[in-house]
Chains A and B, each alone.
Chain A
Amino acid sequence: GQSLEQPSEVTAVEGAIVQINCTYQTSGFYGLSWYQQHDGGAPTFLSYNALDGLEETGRFSSFLSRSDSYGYLLLQELQMKDSASYFCAVLGGATNKLIFGTGTLLAVQP
């Protein structure tokens, strides 16, 4: 089967840097995606890592270590609007489904 673990909540202050970790277990692995979801809104795609290393997109970066079955999302220069839930998702398994973690609720405080 597939399973993902990420912290349920993280709190940080405006302007700071925060890292949201994700560990996964899956039979067959293509890559790790990250999605952002504001309260009651639609999830939006942030990043995807298929290979080991760091991918940077503006203030957001995502890292993957396939050997450790681990990844993280790094948010820099935090803004109040970054308060949202962040989901890691593994693409893998026998039918290449995208399986989402339970999400990390990020609260950015002034």
Chain B
Amino acid sequence: DSGVTQTPKHLITATGQRVTLRCSPRSGDLSVYWYQQSLDQGLQFLIQYYNGEERAKGNILERFSAQQFPDLHSELNLSSLELGDSALYFCASSVSGQGAGSYEQYFGPGTRLTVT
């Protein structure tokens, strides 16, 4: 158990819908990262927040957005869902947010999103 929690574990929804994925980082970690992993694919970095502020962005679609709240939990919002958005979405956290400190990230169990 990494100490990172994600809800829900599974989500099935229809195309065009909007969903929110939730993540609570490990106690003491200030950085939260979101990744997308499609079938047989690697981990695609989406976005990073550090202490409430956006720190780095990856190939995140405009239909996707995220935020980190004062209590450090984070939410990833996915809208106008398409079939291709079906994937495992992981949240990870680390103590630091830049430089060598973010090489060790602790991953949550993931949310499996299925768009039908």
Contact = CB atoms under 8 A, between A and B. Distances in A.
B45 A98 contact: yes
Nearest to A6: B42
B90 interface: yes
B48 interface: yes
A50 B100 contact: yes
Interface residues of A, number: 23
Interface string A96-110: 111111110000000
A96 B102 contact: yes
A96 B99 contact: yes
A24 interface: no
Given A98-B102, A99-B45, A102-B42, A43 B58 contact: no
A102 B42 CA distance: 4
B contact residues, range: 20 to 34
B48 A97 contact: yes
Given A44-B2, A50-B100, A100 B108 contact: no
A43 B90 contact: yes
A95 B42 CA distance: 20
Given A30-B99, A30-B103, A33-B104, A87 B43 contact: yes
A42 B42 contact: no
A41 B109 contact: yes
A72 interface: no
A48 B101 CA distance: 11
Which residue, A33, A96, A99, has most C-beta atoms of chain B within 10 A? A96
15 contacts: A30-B99, A42-B107, A43-B92, A43-B107, A45-B105, A45-B106, A87-B42, A91-B100, A91-B102, A95-B55, A97-B48, A97-B56, A97-B58, A98-B45, A101-B42
Q: What 3 A-B pairs come out closest when comparing CB atoms?
A: A42-B107, A95-B56, A102-B42
